[in-house]
Chain A
Amino acid sequence: MIFVTVGSAYPFDRLVRACDAVAAAHPEQRWLAQIHEGTYDPTHMRFERLMDKQAFDAAMAEAEMIIGHGGMGTISGALAVGKPLLVLARRKRFGESVNDHQVSCAERFRAAGHLLVADDADDVGPLVERLRSFVPRPRRVDAARLGSDIGAFLATC
């Protein structure tokens, strides 16, 4: 199953349309899309508007590949289950975000080998084929450091 997600905060029709077009060309593939309150309803993918954490985690766990917006919930979710992720970042010029932070963040994660990036909606189709064999590099973080730094500050309050 390929899981498509636009995140929980805002719709992202450009991504949903791009994936629906790929899904139309790949009827043998199972798809599930989480599309928020977009105006475009896919016709070649099963879809949900919003998913709670449990349903989202279950879809992430079941998917063999993930295609998503460039949000950190999506990126960290894919890295947590070690699944290949293709990102189409939200862009300011299309009114999809207040700035292009998803573009630069996705590029940093791509450069580190954590995911693939589609620069444009037209790139999604060709990159899905590459995604099939893409093995994401695991990301190592130490959240305990920030946790203890803030803990030390709270001790002074």
Chain B
Amino acid sequence: MNRNPPQVRPDLKVCVGASAGGHTTELFALLAHSSWWPREVVAVTTLEILRPQFEQLGPTTVTGECDRHRPWAAVLVLIRAWKFVRRERPDVIVTTGSLPLAMVCAFVKLFRGRVVWVDSVAQSDDLSMSGRVVRTFADRTYSQWPSIAARHAGVIYAGELL
């Protein structure tokens, strides 16, 4: 545990989000070590089956799943991501990916929020495609592999989640 937890302003509205699968496991591993984070949290994920798990964190929005080979699904996710961000207007988003969350990140940035992107440990050769795009506007981009962080300026390695 961190002995001197940083002081986060209590009214900071934080959005946390992750796609199904390992991304979700990573987010919960991160939050398990983040007890000093502000209490006003909204959550976003991609599948209904995950809703009960995310509702433990805060009010949860489900966007649906997509990847870059499913353009029609992606359009639906994009619309849901837009509605979510316009409604909630978080001050900052913390996410472990993937593409649906990259869309949410883009809209958070559009509304002048901050973006923290943690690329999945599953991406062991290079940043994910989403990570490469989000990195261009994110306030913090992390990789869980030191070799990847070393290759990309501004990408931080600070250990692994899984």
On whether A9 and B21 interact (CB within 8 A), knowing A105-B124, A146-B158, the answer reads yes
Contacts of B29 in A (CB 8 A): 76, 141, 143
Which residues on B sit within 8 Å (CB–CB) of A101? 122-125, 128
Q: Is B140 an interface residue (CB 8 A)?
A: yes
The count of residues in chain A whose C-beta lies closer than 8 Å to any C-beta of chain B is 42
Give CA–CA (A53, B24) in the complex, Å. Answer: 11
In the assembled complex, A58 has its CB within 8 A of some CB on chain B: no
Does B109 make an interface contact (CB < 8 A)?
no
User: Is A75 a contact of B142 with CB atoms below 8 Å?
Assistant: no
Do B5 and A151 touch (CB < 8 A)?
yes
Partner of B26, one of A10, A72, A79, A149: A72
Report whether B22 and A98 are in contact in the complex, using a CB–CB cutoff of 8 Å: no
Contact pick for B2, options A95, A104, A144, A154, CB 8 Å: A144
Binding site for B on A (CB under 8 A): 7-10, 50-53, 70-77, 79, 95, 98-99, 101-102, 104-105, 108, 139, 141-155, 157
- Closest residue of B by beta carbon distance from A154: B8
Asked if B129 is an interface residue, CB under 8 A from chain A, the answer is yes
User: Which chain B residue shows the least CB distance to A55?
Assistant: B49
> Is the beta-carbon distance between A72 and B12 smaller than 8 angstroms?
no
